Structure 1
Amino acid sequence: MATAAGDRLSDLFWRQPRVLLAVLLVPPLLWLGVVYIGSLAALLLQSFFSIDEFSGLIDYELTLKTYRELFRPANFDIILRTTLMAAAVTVASAVIAFPIAYYAARYAKGRMKAFFYLAVMLPLWSSYLVKVYAWKLILAKEGILTWAVDGIGASAILNAVLSIPVIGGNSLSVSYIGTFLVFLYVWLPFMILPVQAALERVPQNLIEASDDLGARRGQTMRYVILPMALPGFIAGSIFTFSLTLGDYIIPQIVGSSRNFIGQAVYAHQGTAGNIPLAAAFAVVPIVIMGFYLWMAKRQGAFDAL
C-alpha cells in the first residue's frame, strides 16, 4: 500500500515538476514570510506607536511622535556615531582586505592557498564573546599591546593618540579607537573572502591584454582589476557595514560609555521599557542599508554580480 502510494507520488512529481518545486519551496518561503518578514512588519508597526508620558504605557494610536524623538540631539548622536563607525570599519576593511585577497587570488598556490583559507577562517571558528573579551584584555592599560609599545619606546606616540579628543581615552580598551580595532578584527574575514572570490574571476587574458597594450601596472590595476573586483567589495561592504550597524556587544565591552544603535535598542526595550523607541532605532539600520543598496544599484555596482 505504502509502496503504491509512493510510486504514485513519484509519478506525479515526474509528470508535474512544478508540483515538486512547490513542495520544496513552500515550507522555507512560509518560514521566511512568517518568521522573518512578519517580525520585521511587527517591528515596523511598533515604531509607529508611542509611550504615554503620564502612565508609561504604550499608546497604540498610530503616530510619528516616536520617529521625531530620533532627531533629538542625544538620539541623533547615537545614529551618527554608529554610522560613522560602520563606515570607517568598512573602508578600513576594504583597504586591508585587498592586498591579502589579491595575493591569495593571483599568486598563492597549493598549500599556500590552503593556509590562506585556514588563516582567514580560523578566527571565525572561535566564540564571538571569547574574541571580544580577549581583545578587551589586549587593549587594556596593563595589556600586552601597551607592554609591547612600551618595549619599543613608543609609549609617547600611544599617549598622543589616546589624547585625541572624542576618539581617545584613558586606554585603548575604553576608547573609540579600541572599538574600531575590535570591529575591524571581527568583521575583516567577511570582506576578504568576497574580494578574493571576485579577484579569482578576473580573466588572466584581460591582464595580459592590458600589458600588451602598454598599460603600466598601476593602470591595469585601476582600469581592469579594480572595476572587476567591485562586486566583491560591494558584497563585503554589505556584510561589514550592516554587521557593525547592528552590533551591540562589542561597544558594550570595548569602548566608551556612549551608546551605539544596538545598545540603544537593547536599553529601550529592556530597562527603559520604551518598545516603540527601540523599534524606531531598529528601523534606522534597515533604512540606512536600503539607501546604501539603492545608491550602489544606481551606480551600477550590481551589474557584474
Structure 2
Amino acid sequence: MSLALLLVPPLAWLVVAYLGSLAVLLVSAFWTTNSFTGAVVHTVTGDNIVRVLTDELFRTVTLRTVGVALLVTVLCAVLAVPLGLYMAKVASPRIRLALVVAVTTPLWASYLVKAYAWRVLLSPEGPLSWATGYSPGYGLVATVLTLTYLWLPYMIIPVFAAFERVPNHLIDASSDLGASDLSTLRMVVAPLVFPGIAAGSIFTFSLSLGDYIAVTIVGGKTQMLGNVIYGQLVTANNQPLAAALSIIPLGAVVLYLLAMRRTGALENV
C-alpha cells in the first residue's frame, strides 16, 4: 500500500501530462482548419497525414533532419570515446576531476547563450574567420557544429561512466595473453562500453531531431523538422498540420529506441 501511494503521483503525472498530451497530439493530426478564419475544425480527416507523406518539401526536410541527427550522434561518439577513455583509465584523479567539471560546466549555461556564441564564432566576419581565414558561415554545417557542441556532454558522461565500469584486471589479462592495445580495445573494452555509447546516442539523436532553435540561430536558410513544425504552428496557424508533422520525429525516436533495444545494449545500461 505504501509503495502504491508512493508511485501514484508520478504515474498519474506521466499518464495525464505526458501520455495525455501525446494522445491529444495524435488526435489533432486528424483535424482540419477553416480556410477563412483559420480556426481548428474538429472534423476527422486524413488529409494532413496524406500531405505529410506525399509532399516533396516535407520528405526532403525529414531526410535532412534525420541525417543531421545521425551525423551529430556519430560526431559526438567520435569525440566522446577517446575523451571518456582518457578520463576513466589514463588521467590522474586531479585531471579527471578537472575534465569532469569542464564537461559538465556548459550544461549550466543557457542554451541561447551557447547558440548565439556559436553564431558569433561562425559569422563570416567572426573570430574563426579572423584566426583561420575561413568560416563556414550560417547553414547546414553551422547547424551540425552547433548541435554537436550542445549535446556532446550528453554523450561524454555515459561513455565515461561505461569506461569507468570496465574492470582493469580484464585489460591486464588481455595484455598478459598477448593481445595488442587495439585488439584489447576492440574485443574486450568495446563490447563493455557499447551500452554507454548507445545510451548517449539516444540523447544526442533525439535532442538533435527535435531541435528548432539552433537551426533558427545559425542555420541560415536551412530548414529542419523542428522549425517547420514551429512555422506551421505559430506562423501559419495550422495546428493540425503541425501535429501531423510532429508524428515524424516521434516515430523516428521510437524506431531508434527499438533499434537500440534489438542490439541488447539498453538492458546493460
The TM-score bracket by the shorter chain reads over 0.9
Instruction: State the secondary structure of the residue aligned to 1:270.
Output: helix
How far residue 258 of structure 1 moved from its aligned partner, in angstroms, is 2.9
Distance in 1 between the 2:35 and 2:235 partners?
16
Write out aligned runs for 1:2-81 (5 A): 19-53=1-35, 56-71=38-53, 72-81=55-64
Equivalent residue in structure 2 for 1:129, among 90, 102, 112: 112
Instruction: State the secondary structure of the residue aligned to 2:266.
Output: coil
How far residue 302 of structure 1 moved from its aligned partner, in angstroms, is 2.2
Write out aligned runs for 1:286-305 (5 A): 286-305=250-269
List runs of 5+ in structure 2 lacking aligned partners.
Answer: none
Q: Would you say 1:189 and 2:171 are equivalent positions?
A: no
Write out aligned runs for 1:72-91 (5 A): 72-91=55-74
How far residue 104 of structure 1 moved from its aligned partner, in angstroms, is 0.4
List runs of 5+ in structure 1 lacking aligned partners.
Answer: 1-18, 151-157, 159-170
How far residue 64 of structure 1 moved from its aligned partner, in angstroms, is 2.5
Distance in 2 between the 1:215 and 1:54 partners?
73
Match of 2:226 in 1: 262
Equivalent residue in structure 1 for 2:239, among 275, 279, 294: 275
Equivalent residue in structure 2 for 1:175, among 136, 139, 147: 139
Distance in 1 between the 2:63 and 2:151 partners?
20
Distance in 1 between the 2:76 and 2:27 partners?
35
Distance in 1 between the 2:144 and 2:177 partners?
43
CA deviation digits over 1:239-288, x for unaligned, max 9? Answer: 00000011111000001213211111111111101111111121211100
How far residue 303 of structure 1 moved from its aligned partner, in angstroms, is 3.5
Match of 2:84 in 1: 101
Match of 2:96 in 1: 113
- TM-score norm. by structure 1 comes to 0.84
What RMSD over aligned residues (CA atoms) do the two structures have, in Å?
1.5
Maintained 8 Å contact 1:120/1:189:
yes
Distance in 2 between the 1:111 and 1:280 partners?
51
Distance in 2 between the 1:213 and 1:50 partners?
68
Match of 2:177 in 1: 213
Larger Rg: 1
Instruction: State the secondary structure of the residue aligned to 1:256.
Output: coil
Q: How many residues align?
A: 268
- TM-score norm. by structure 2 comes to 0.95
Greater displacement, 31-40 / 58-67: 58-67
Amino acid at match of 1:110: P
Instruction: State the secondary structure of the residue aligned to 1:70.
Output: helix
Maintained 8 Å contact 1:269/1:278:
yes
